Structure 1
Amino acid sequence: MSDWKRTTVGDVVTLQRGFDITKAQQNPGNVPVVSSGGISSYHDTAMVEGPGVVMGRKGTLGKVFWLESDYWPHDTTLWVKDFKGNDRRFVYYFLGTLNYLSMNVGSSNPTLNRNHVHPTPINWPPLKEQRGIAVVLGALDDKIAVNERIATTTDAMVEALRQMLLAELDANFRRLGDIAKIVVGSTPSRAKSEYWTDGTVNWINSGKANEFRVIDPSEMITEDALVNSSVKMMPPGATLIGITGATMGKISRLEIPAGGSQNVAGVWADEPALNDWLFYDIKARVADLTKHASGGAQQHINKRIITELQCSVPGPDRLTAWSAKASPLVTLTARRLVENRTLAALRDTLLPQLMSGRLRVKDAEKIVEDAT
C-alpha cells in the first residue's frame, strides 16, 4: 500500500448539510427523501443528482446510504457534494467505516457536524484501487439485492396463489385457537447474568416482528433461562405477531427456532402446509387483531384476541394442492435471505481489511468469486 496517501476526509470529499422539507411540503413522486435513518418518503422534486452518498447527521449518526437515482437529502443528513474525482461507490463504502460516535457534538440528541468530519485523518488509495475495491464489495451487495428481489417476488407469488384459491372457495372460517398452537413469550431477568452469558438458545424481542423474515436472533439465552423464565420456544415456520406498542400488529415468519419476549406471540400448526397458509392468512387479517387491542398509550393484543381470530382454511385436498405450488416458494424465500446473511457477513469482514490495505483486491476477488 505504498501508493496510498495520508490525507483527511475533507481533502477527498466535500460534505454538505441536507435540505429541510416537511411531509406537508412533499408532493406525490418517486424521488426518495433520505433522512438520517434512510429513505423516509418520496417527493416529486430532487435536490441532488445521483448516484450519490448520504449519511445520518442527527439522531442516527453516520449511517451511510447509497442512492442510484436523483434524491433529496433531508436536513438531518450530510451528503457528498463533491467527490473530487474519486470513485463514488468506494466513497460510500469508505465513509461507512469511520467512527462517527467520536465526532458527536450533540448532547441529548446526537449530532454530526461536517466541520468535525472533514479534518479526520485517513489513508486513501489511488483511483484504480478504489475502483477495484468498489467492484469487489459491490458484487456482494448486488447479489444481496438480487436475492432480496427474488424473496419479495416469491412472497408475492405465494399470496397471489392464496387469493386465487380463496376466489374458488366458499368461506370456510376456523377459530385460530382450534387449529394452531399459540404462545406468548417472556424475557429472562437481566439481573441474572447466568441467563445471558454464553447462551446457546435463540431469543427474539418485539423488534423482530418488523422484519420480512426472522433469520437471526436478537440475543442468545442459556438453557437455564429457558427453563426458569417461562420462555416458550417457537419452531421454524411459526408466525410471529408483535402484540404490544410500536410493533403491535406487525407480522413476520420465523425461519429459526427461537424463544420470544412477552411482547410477541407465536402461532404454528403441526401440518407444514397449514403452517405456510396461516402465515399469509394472519397477515391479511391484522385489522381483525388490532381493532380489539386494549390499553392507553401502550396498546396491546392479548392471547385471547389471537385465539379467537377467524381464519379462512381450505379443505385438506385444496390445501395440499396449494401447498404443492406455494411451499417451494416459501422455502426459496427463506433460502435467499439466509444466503444474504452469509454474504453480508462476508462483506462486513472484507470491508475494513480492504479499506486499510491489509487485503488486496486480487485476493478479495477470489474470496468473493467462491462465495457467489
Structure 2
Amino acid sequence: MGEWRRLRLRDVCERVDYGLTASATAVDTGTRFLRITDIVGARLDWRTVPFVDADERTRERYRLARGDIVVARTGSTTGESRWLAEVPPGAVFASYLVRLRVKAEHDPRFIGYALRSPAFRSYVAGVVGDKSAQPNASAATLTAAVIAVPSRSTQQAIAAALGALDDKIALNDRIVATSDALRAAVWEAAVAANPVTVPLSEVAEFVNGRPFTRGATGHGRMVVRIAEITSGPGPATVHHDLDVADRHLARPGDVLFAWSGSLTVARWFRPEAIINQHIFKVIPRAGRPPWTAYEAVRSRLARYRAIAADRATTMGHIQRRHLNEPVTVPGRTPDLESLWQRALAAEQESLALADLRDTLLARLLPAAPGPVADGEQVRSG
C-alpha cells in the first residue's frame, strides 16, 4: 500500500470551525440545524434534523457542504464524527460540533474514515480522560490528533472499498423506508375500506420491561433502552448477563413501544436483547402477525404524544389505561408479510455490512501514535 505519512489532523484541513450558537425552532421551516444528536447512531436522516432561524450572513458563515466532516466536541459522544455525503441547501451546524473541511490534496471521505478508526477513538479517549462531569475536547485538541495518511490514490482506493459497504447500507435504508411506507399505505387503505373499532389492548398484549440496567455486568446481551431504539447502540449502552424470561427479550422482528420520552414504536432487528423499563414488548394476540400490532400502535402515536406532552413535568408518558382506548383496524387484514420481512432482512443485512466495514477499517488504517515531525514518513504494515 506504499508509504504513509503521519500528519496532524489540522494539517490535512483547509479550515476548522465551531458551529452556530442557537436553539432549534419549533416550526418545520427555515434552515436545517445539524446537532450532535443528529450525527450519533447508525444513520443521519436529514428529514429529522430540526430547523433554526438564521439570516443570510449567518447561513453563509456556518453553511455546510458535501464532503465536510463534523465532529462532536462535548458530552459522552465526544469524538463521534460524520462525513457528510449529502447536505440540504443552506444547512448549518451547531456550536457543539466542529466542522472540518479537508484540503484538495486529500480525499475527504478517507479522512472521515480515519476519524472513525480505533486509533482516533483511542486518542480522543486519552485526551478526554476522566472528565466525568462533562467530557469535552476543543477543536485544537481534536485536530492535534495524529493520523496516518497515504497517497491520494491509496486514500481513494480505501475510501471506495469502505464506501461501497456504506453505500449498500444507504440503499438498504431506502429499501426499508419504501417497504414500510408501502405497508402503511396498504394498511390505511384497508382500514378505510372496512373499518373495525376495538380496544388497542385486544389487538396486542403489552409487556412492560423492567429495570435491568441495575447491577449490569458489562457482559452478555444488550439492555434495550429508549436510546437504543431511537439511535442504536452507543458508548452508554449497557450489557447484562442476567437470565431473563422470554417475555422480556427482544428478538429480530419483535415490536417494541417506548411509552415515555420519545414515544416511539419500532421493529427490533438487532440480536436478542433484554428489554428495559419504559418499553413495552408488543405481542400480537390471536395469531396476528407482528405488523398488525405495529400499525395499530403507530395509528395512536399522535394521540399518545399529545397525552405525554401534557404530563411532561420530567419525562412525558402514557398510562396503561390508555392502551384500552379504541383503535380502528381493517375488518379484513391485508397480507403484508412480504413487505415486513423485506424491510427486516435489509436491516439485518446492514448490521452485517457495518460489522464488515468496521473490521476492514481497523485493518486498512494503521495507527499513528506519538508526536509527528514535519515530513516524517511511516510505512504501513
1:254 partnered with 2:264: no
Asked if structure 2 preserves the Cα contact closer than 8 Å seen for 1:56 and 1:63, the reply is yes
Aligned to 1:80: 100
Q: What's the offset of the Cα at 1:237?
A: 4.1
Listed one character per residue, the Cα deviations across residues 58-111 of structure 1 (whole Å, up to 9, x for unaligned) are 333121112233642332222223425101111111122213233339784333
Q: What's the offset of the Cα at 1:303?
A: 2.7
Q: What's the offset of the Cα at 1:12?
A: 2.2
More moved, 180-189 vs 278-287: 180-189
Asked if structure 2 preserves the Cα contact closer than 8 Å seen for 1:151 and 1:334, the reply is yes
Quick one: which of 297, 308, 319 aligns to 1:302? 319
The whole-number CA distance in structure 2 between the counterparts of 1:258 and 1:102 is 30
SS in 1 for 2:3: coil
Asked if structure 2 preserves the Cα contact closer than 8 Å seen for 1:32 and 1:72, the reply is yes
1:176 partnered with 2:176: no
Q: CA RMSD in A?
A: 3.3
Asked if structure 2 preserves the Cα contact closer than 8 Å seen for 1:211 and 1:252, the reply is no
Q: What's the offset of the Cα at 1:347?
A: 0.6
- CA distance change for structure 1 residues 51 and 257 in 2, over 3 Å: closer, same or farther? closer
1:64 partnered with 2:87: no
Greater RCO, 1 or 2 (C-alpha within 8 Å, sep 6+): 2
Structure 1: which 5+ runs fail to align? 359-372
**Superposed counterparts of 1:323-334, under 5 Å:** 323=335, 326-334=336-344
Aligned to 1:205: 225
Asked if structure 2 preserves the Cα contact closer than 8 Å seen for 1:288 and 1:309, the reply is no
The whole-number CA distance in structure 1 between the counterparts of 2:266 and 2:25 is 33
Q: What's the offset of the Cα at 1:30?
A: 7.8
* TM-score normalised according to structure 2 size: 0.76
Q: What's the offset of the Cα at 1:162?
A: 1.1
| Counterpart AA for 2:349 | E
Aligned to 1:10: 10
The whole-number CA distance in structure 2 between the counterparts of 1:21 and 1:190 is 37
- CA distance change for structure 1 residues 271 and 342 in 2, over 3 Å: closer, same or farther? farther
Aligned to 1:116: 141
Quick one: which of 284, 288, 293 aligns to 2:303? 288
Asked if structure 1 preserves the Cα contact closer than 8 Å seen for 2:253 and 2:344, the reply is no
| Counterpart AA for 2:50 | S
* TM-score normalised according to structure 1 size: 0.78
| Counterpart AA for 1:134 | A
The whole-number CA distance in structure 1 between the counterparts of 2:306 and 2:367 is 56
**Superposed counterparts of 1:206-285, under 5 Å:** 206-210=226-230, 219-223=239-243, 226=244, 232-233=248-249, 237-244=253-260, 246-247=261-262, 249-255=263-269, 258-271=273-286, 273-285=288-300
Asked if structure 1 preserves the Cα contact closer than 8 Å seen for 2:33 and 2:50, the reply is yes
1:338 partnered with 2:348: yes
Q: What's the offset of the Cα at 1:34?
A: 2.5
More moved, 279-288 vs 75-84: 75-84
SS in 1 for 2:365: helix
The whole-number CA distance in structure 2 between the counterparts of 1:42 and 1:63 is 22
SS in 1 for 2:70: strand
Aligned to 1:365: none
Q: What's the offset of the Cα at 1:334?
A: 0.4
Q: How many aligned residue pairs are there?
A: 336
The whole-number CA distance in structure 2 between the counterparts of 1:259 and 1:26 is 35
Asked if structure 1 preserves the Cα contact closer than 8 Å seen for 2:64 and 2:93, the reply is yes
Aligned to 1:363: none
The whole-number CA distance in structure 1 between the counterparts of 2:340 and 2:104 is 46
Aligned to 1:137: 162
- CA distance change for structure 1 residues 122 and 180 in 2, over 3 Å: closer, same or farther? closer
Structure 2: which 5+ runs fail to align? 40-45, 369-381
SS in 2 for 1:262: coil
Q: Percent identity?
A: 23
The whole-number CA distance in structure 2 between the counterparts of 1:151 and 1:165 is 21
- CA distance change for structure 1 residues 57 and 164 in 2, over 3 Å: closer, same or farther? same
1:356 partnered with 2:370: no
The whole-number CA distance in structure 2 between the counterparts of 1:35 and 1:262 is 27
Asked if structure 2 preserves the Cα contact closer than 8 Å seen for 1:154 and 1:333, the reply is yes
Asked if structure 1 preserves the Cα contact closer than 8 Å seen for 2:20 and 2:92, the reply is no
| Counterpart AA for 1:131 | Q
- CA distance change for structure 1 residues 156 and 202 in 2, over 3 Å: closer, same or farther? same
- CA distance change for structure 1 residues 182 and 35 in 2, over 3 Å: closer, same or farther? closer
The whole-number CA distance in structure 2 between the counterparts of 1:235 and 1:84 is 46
- CA distance change for structure 1 residues 79 and 289 in 2, over 3 Å: closer, same or farther? closer
Q: What's the offset of the Cα at 1:26?
A: 11
